[in-house]
Each structure stands twice: as structure tokens, then as C-alpha cells.
Amino acid sequence: MTTTLDKPSKPTAKAPRTAAHRTARRKALLHWIAVHSLGVAAALFFVLPFVFIFLTSLMGGQQTLTRDLIPTTWEWGNYAKVFDTPGFLTWWKNTLLYAGLGTVLTVVSSIPVAYALAKFRFRGQRLAMMLVISMMMLPPQVIIIPMYLFWAKELDLAGSLWPLIIPMAFGDAFAIFLLRQFLLTIPGEYLDSARVDGCGELRILLRVVLPMAKPGIAAVALFQFFFAWNDYFGPQIYASENPAAWTLSYGLESFKGAHHTDWNLTMAATILVMAPVILVFFFAQKAFVEGVTLTGVKG
């Protein structure tokens, strides 16, 4: 019954031509049309910005100063020009280092913590969980003054990305939270039976829990990778004084001003910064959406 309501069924000769049936079918068709036109309208809203920036990225320099929407000449060379601007490849390298190494460190350091929070019983567990959530909700700007003084003055690491990467070796609150939510869904019986077999907790974590937690770990890794890829504030504070340490997000912002380019090249650079994230998403769509859902689910 639901199918006939939701899908417009083509009228067939066999169908009884009662008036009630016809109105029901017409109503269903109208409903289908209404829903899908709304869907198309929403899709336009979401997609058109990409289309416009893509078109602009292919315009000639003079044309970007006009109100034209469609390029008169298709300058595919704009993308090559972006790669040729000084620094662009360095930004890529730095971003990959920050996002790659940072993700590995986060995952490795957060898993045992999340496991303990999800599966152990200990005094102060509730408090620890509350502190993890507080850390998760803490804006990075709140602690930036002492942190900056610490990294720059005590450790002489200003002008590099290390002040952003090193902390990830000490667990990331969001990763811990997300992994804990995921580990809670693993039934305790699996762990108990392993314990009966005489496994230590570390072995249980490595042999039993990790294989079952792969989707959760994948989601955490993705989130962390995207976080580092998108991070603007961190590089702005720690890397800004050394162009050799800039990341894509930070470099992109000053791209237009620093290279005196027009919107066409700026938009080409914008697309080149968006593209990897979107590509990664297509390969890992399922893990990602699961992760987003997990953040909103009660633990």
C-alpha cells in the first residue's frame, strides 16, 4: 500500500476506473511531483555555488572583472598557473604532513583511552568523561595565549606545524568521545569470553575490539583528517610567520592578496583545496555518514 502511495504508478488499462481510485492516484502523483521539485530546488541551492566557482575558475583575467557567468574562453591553464604559484606545492606537502601524521597520532593515542572509558569500571570515570566532553567543547582560542607562549618561547617551535601535531599524540577529546560511543555498542560478552580465556586487556583491545571497531576508527580518522585539512586558526597562530610551514587552508586565504591574482585563479585554487576532501568523501562515504550520525546519538 505504501508503495502505491509513494511511487506514481502508471495508469494501466486493467486498473478499475473508480473516481476514488483516480483521485488517490492523482494525489500521489502530485505528491511525488511536489517532493521532487522541492528536492531539485534544494539541490540547485547546494550545487550552484560549485558550478559558479568552477565556471569562474576557467575565465580569463579580464573577464572575471565583469559580471559574466559563462567563460568566453576556457582557460584550463589557470589550474596549471595555480600549481606554479610559489608555495602552493609546499602548502600541499605541509597539509598532508599535518593531516596525515596528526590523524595517525590521534587514532593511536585515543583508542586505549576510549576503550578504558567505555569498558572499564573505575572511580572518577564519570568525571573523566565529563572532562573529555568539556575539552571537546573548548574553543582553541581560549587557551591560545599560554599555549603560544609555551610553544614559541619555551620550545622554540613557532613557525612550524609541530605545536599542532605534537598534542595529537596525547589523545584528542573528540576522537576519544566518538570512539567511546562506538565501543559502547560492542557487546560486553565478547570481551568477557576473551577474559575467561585469560587474555590481558591489551590483547583484548588489539585482537578483539580493534577488528570490531574498524568502522568507528575509520570515522574518527576521517574526521581528524578533515579537521587538520580545514584548520585555519592553528596555522594562523603557529605557522604564519614562516611561509615554508603554511598549509592549504591558511595559504588559500591570502592567495588573492599575496599573489595579486584575480578571482579566476583564486577560484581555481579554491577548487583545488576542496577537491581532495570531496574525493576522500566519495571513497569513504559510508564511514563518514555513520560518524556524523554517531555524534548525534545518545551514548
Partner 1 sequence: MTTYTLRSKRRRAALRTAAFLSPWLIGFSVFFAYPLISTVYFSFMKYDGIRPPVFDGLDNWTYVFNDYPMFWPAVRNTLWLVLVMVTCRVAFGLGVGLLITKIKTGAGVFRTLFYLPYLAPPVAATLAFVFLLNPGTGPVNSILESVGISAPGWFTDPTWSKPALTALAVWGVGDLMVIFMAALLDVPKEQYEASKLDGASSWQQFRFITLPNISPIVLFAVVTGVIQAMQYYTQPLVAGKVASGVIGGSGQQFEPGYPEKSTLTLPQIIYNAGFQRFDYGAAAVIAVVLFALSMVFTAFLMRSRGGLIRVGD
Partner 2 sequence: MSTRTRKAAATLAATAAIALLATACTGSAENEAEDDPKANTTLTFWHGWSAPSEVKAIQENVKRFEAAHKNIKVKIVGNMTDDKINQALRAGGSSAPDVVSSFSTTTVGQFCSSGAFVDLNSYLKKSKIDPTKVFHKPLLDYTQFDGNQCTLPLLSDAYGLYYNKDAFKAAGITEPPKTWSELTEIAQKLTKPKGAGFEQLGFMPNYHGYETSTSHYLSQWSPTYFDAAGKSNIAKDPAFARMMTYQKGLVDKLGGYAKLEKYRNTFGDEWGAKHPFHTGQVAMQLDGEWRLGMAKDAGVKFEIGTAPLPVADDQIADYGKGYLAGTIVGIASTSKKKNAAWELVKYMTTDTAAVVAFSNGIRNVPSTIEALKSPDLKIDPAFKTFVDIAQHPKSNTSPANIDGGSYHTTLSDLAYQYEAGRVKDLQAGLEKAAKQIDTDIAKLK
Residues engaged in binding partner 2 (CB under 8 A): 61-62, 65, 146, 148-150, 152-160, 162, 165-166, 169-170, 240-243, 254, 256-262
**Residue 80 binding: pick among partner 1, partner 2, none (C-beta 5-8 Å cut-off by kind):** none
- Provide the minimum distance between the beta carbon of 26 and partner 2 in the complex, in angstroms, as a whole number: 47
Binding string, residues 17-46; x marks residues near partner 1 by CB under 8 A: ---------------x--xx-xx--xx-xx
* Contacting range for partner 1; rule: CB under 8 A; set: 9-17, 75-83, 111-119, 211-219: 111-119
Report how far residue 243's alpha carbon sits from residue 248's, in angstroms, rounded to the nearest whole number. 11
Q: Are 95 and 259 in contact (CB under 8 A)?
A: no
Q: Are 119 and 188 in contact (CB under 8 A)?
A: yes
Scanning the structure block, which residue is given the C-alpha cell 551514548?
A: 299
Q: Are 209 and 50 in contact (CB under 8 A)?
A: no
The size of the chain, in residues, is 299
- Provide the minimum distance between the beta carbon of 153 and partner 2 in the complex, in angstroms, as a whole number: 6
138 binds partner 1 (CB under 8 A): yes
Q: Under 8 Å CB-to-CB from 63, ≥6 apart: which residues?
A: 71, 72, 73, 264
116 binds partner 1 (CB under 8 A): yes
195 binds partner 1 (CB under 8 A): no
Residues 72-101 that bind partner 1 (CB under 8 A): none
Report how far residue 24's alpha carbon sits from residue 30's, in angstroms, rounded to the nearest whole number. 10
- Provide the minimum distance between the beta carbon of 7 and partner 1 in the complex, in angstroms, as a whole number: 6
Residues 237-296 that bind partner 1 (CB under 8 A): 237, 248-250, 252-254, 256-258, 260, 263, 266-267, 270-271, 273-274, 277-278, 281, 285, 289, 292-293, 295-296
186 binds partner 1 (CB under 8 A): no
Q: Please, where are the H alpha helices in the chain?
A: 2-6, 19-57, 77-84, 88-119, 125-137, 144-149, 162-165, 173-184, 188-196, 201-203, 210-212, 214-230, 233-238, 248-259, 263-283, 285-295
**Residue 62 binding: pick among partner 2, partner 1, none (C-beta 5-8 Å cut-off by kind):** partner 2
Is 8 in a helix, a strand, or coil? coil
